[in-house]
Amino acid sequence: MTDQDTEKSLRNAFCQEFGLPPTLRACAPGRVNLLGEHVDYNDGLVLPVAIDRQVQLAAIPGADDTVTLSALDLNEKITFNLTDLENKKDATGAALPGWARYAAGVAWALQQENLPVKGIKVAFTSNVPIGAGLSSSAAVEVGFAVLWQALGNWKIDPLKLARICQFAENKYVGLACGLMDQFASACGVADHALCLDTRSLDWQAVPLPQNTAIVIADSGVRRSLTNSAYNDRRASCEQAVTLLRQYMPHIRSLRDVETTEFAAYRPYLPEEVCKRAEHVVKEIHRVNSALSALQRNDQQAFGALMYAGHKSLRNLYEVSTPELDTLVELARNLPGAIGARLTGAGFGGCTVNLVKLDQAEEFISGLKEGYAAATGRQAYVHLCRAYRAAHILD
């Protein structure tokens, strides 16, 4: 379905749901991360791309403080009041379902910033696969933030908007995510990767290699990285910093540890903590190298860094799966392949592949066929482009 088809379908569904056409429409992209996985909560550098898989929202202002949401993909509808967000209850007093907490959390976080949030009726749909590691939740959050910004006629910097959405997910939804997902959706630049320093929050858009395509392969295995597994890995990184401070008192996070320093002090870390920290330290170094490769249009070097990143996520951070490993190994031997690795938190979801544009279709066919033969599963493979930031549609 094209973007125009989605817009038409959403408009029709909105009219059916609310009895009149929407007066405000927005879209917010998902993201794929090319390099820099599990480093955003370690003050590291990340290299995401906003993609043309997106959440689309249609809305009209409400007459009061009531928010009515219609999640078309789930066939569910909910109403809650903006004056009672702390309790996380709907209008009937029942607990808000998980999907509704992303929107409610954004409203709550905007209120914490003293930004006006008004009642609204919204229908929304998404072609960002849920649980695939492409940041469907962040796209929902940023999409609602953009809607409320337009409705309230206030304006803030996109990076600040992303930070508010991250705060909503951390404090309201309850997942200790970093800033990368919301940042990519709020700040995306067409045909560019985004290099974000998660410590200083400085960022730059870097042109993607010439004549290449981004191919995302969904393993069909839904991500099973629970909050506890994610938080355990984060805790291991924090423990590594505490232990390494005995030898390097100046460090604030793993960002401050050079690869040579880590090699010297790794014997003093417990085995699991050491593995988690080694991934982070070397992954941050890989992003620096990748940024240099992009700036000189060195596709081969960039691809090699992607493969190395996957190996580290598999062996050290231990968030890969047999299906993701199969997709990466298949990609390595297909026509047009430059680099491949798992993307997102891991334990299911997708791989991201950088592929020569003129061989992308051949690559996709080979990947689908090889994956089916090796696993008996179907891979959902998408040819994507780097997309612009969340915005109001005309």
Q: Do 313 and 367 share a structural domain?
A: yes
Q: Which domain holds residue 25?
A: 3-207+388-392
Residues of the chain with pLDDT under 50: none
Number of domains making up the chain: 2
Query: What does the pLDDT look like over 127-150, one tens digit per residue?
Result: 887 666 677 899 999 999 999 999
Q: Do 226 and 186 share a structural domain?
A: no
Query: Which sequence positions are flagged as catalytic?
Result: 181
Q: At what angle do helices 360-375 and 322-332 cross, to 10 degrees?
A: 140
| DSSP assignment of 79-126 | EEEGGGTTTTB-TTSPBPPHHHHHHHHHHHHHHHTT-----EEEEEEE
pTM above 0.85, yes or no: yes
Q: Do 330 and 220 share a structural domain?
A: yes
Q: Do 298 and 202 share a structural domain?
A: no
Q: Do 267 and 199 share a structural domain?
A: no
CATH of the domain at 135: 3.30.230.10
Q: Where do we find the tokens 């696969």?
A: 129
Q: What is the pLDDT of residue 228?
A: 72
Q: Do 338 and 261 share a structural domain?
A: yes
Beta strands 350-356 and 380-384, pairing class:
unpaired
Contact by Cβ (8 Å): 220, 365:
no
CATH of the domain at 304: 3.30.70.890
Q: Do 347 and 219 share a structural domain?
A: yes
